[in-house]
């Protein structure tokens, strides 16, 4: 994929998505390494600053990953990240992930709105046929959020991952481009 255009804006009712920049680093690391995100995330290991900078240089800047900051339309408050970490161009398929920072002023429903904006962008702008997302089965907020965003549960994978000394079930969600 071509690296994302730095001026790209994906606009929704309450939020917009803008491409991540190196200036976002400290904020993104704080979100990504927060207790809530680490405990609910498939990739459990906290991320170091140098790992994140490598990720930006070797993945985001090369167009292998598209990552966006979720911002409030009125005050530009940044709430978290939504990202497309894996493009499967052979099968015309993308994957989507999300994490939000802990902010008590965050309105309800931001997660679903961001996932829906990213999904529509994958279909309408990138013309992918399918988008998938994976969730640890105990992550009830994420399961519900994905349904609200337009994904359908496609598989329940028993003991799929071994995390922190325990096998965890994973739910696979998918959405197929309605234009295709």
Ligand X SMILES: CC(C)(COP(=O)(O)OP(=O)(O)OC[C@H]1O[C@@H](n2cnc3c(N)ncnc32)[C@H](O)[C@@H]1OP(=O)(O)O)[C@@H](O)C(=O)NCCC(=O)NCCS
What part of residues 22-61 is at the interface with ligand X (CB under 6 A)? Answer: 36-37, 40-41
98 binds ligand X, rule: CB under 6 A: yes
Strands 93-100 and 130-136: parallel
Q: Which of 4, 20, 110, 119 binds ligand X (CB under 6 A)?
A: 110
Q: Output 15 or 60, the one with its CB closest to ligand X.
A: 15
Among residues 4 and 139, whose Cβ is nearest to ligand X? 139
Helices 110-124 and 140-149: crossing angle in degrees, nearest 10, is: 50
Q: Within 13 Å and on the Cβ side, how many CA atoms surround 137?
A: 14
Q: Is 76 in the site for ligand X (CB under 6 A)?
A: no
User: Measuring CA to CA, which residue among 129, 98, 90, 136 is closest to residue 116?
Assistant: 98
Give residues 126-155 in contact with ligand X (rule: CB under 6 A). 135, 139-142, 144-145, 148
Residue among 70, 100, 122, 171 that touches ligand X (CB under 6 A)? 100
Q: Using the rule CB under 6 A, which residue among 12, 109, 150, 174 binds ligand X?
A: 109
Q: Give one word for 146, left, alpha or beta, with left for phi > 0 and alpha for psi -120 to 50.
A: alpha
8 A C-beta contact, residue 1 and residue 87:
yes
Residues that bind ligand X (CB under 6 A): 36-37, 40-41, 80, 98-100, 108-112, 135, 139-142, 144-145, 148
């Amino acid at each position: 994929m071509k690296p994302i255009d730095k001026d790209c804006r994906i606009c929704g009712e309450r939020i917009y998505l803008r491409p991540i920049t190196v200036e976002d680093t400290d904020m993104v690391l704080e979100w990504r390494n927060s207790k809530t995100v680490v405990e609910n995330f498939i990739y459990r290991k906290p991320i170091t600053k140098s790992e994140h900078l490598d990720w930006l240089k070797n993945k985001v800047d090369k167009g292998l990953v598209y990552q966006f900051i979720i911002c409030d339309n009125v005050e530009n408050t940044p709430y978290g990240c939504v990202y497309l970490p894996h493009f499967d161009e052979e099968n015309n398929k993308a994957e989507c992930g999300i994490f939000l920072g802990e902010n008590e002023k965050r309105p309800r429903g931001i997660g679903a709105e961001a996932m829906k904006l990213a999904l529509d962008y994958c279909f309408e702008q990138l013309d992918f046929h399918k988008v998938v997302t994976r969730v640890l089965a105990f992550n009830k907020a994420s399961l519900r959020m994905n349904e609200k965003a337009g994904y359908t549960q496609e598989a329940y994978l028993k003991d799929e991952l071994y995390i922190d000394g325990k096998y965890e079930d994973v739910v696979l969600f998918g959405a197929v481009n309605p234009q295709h």
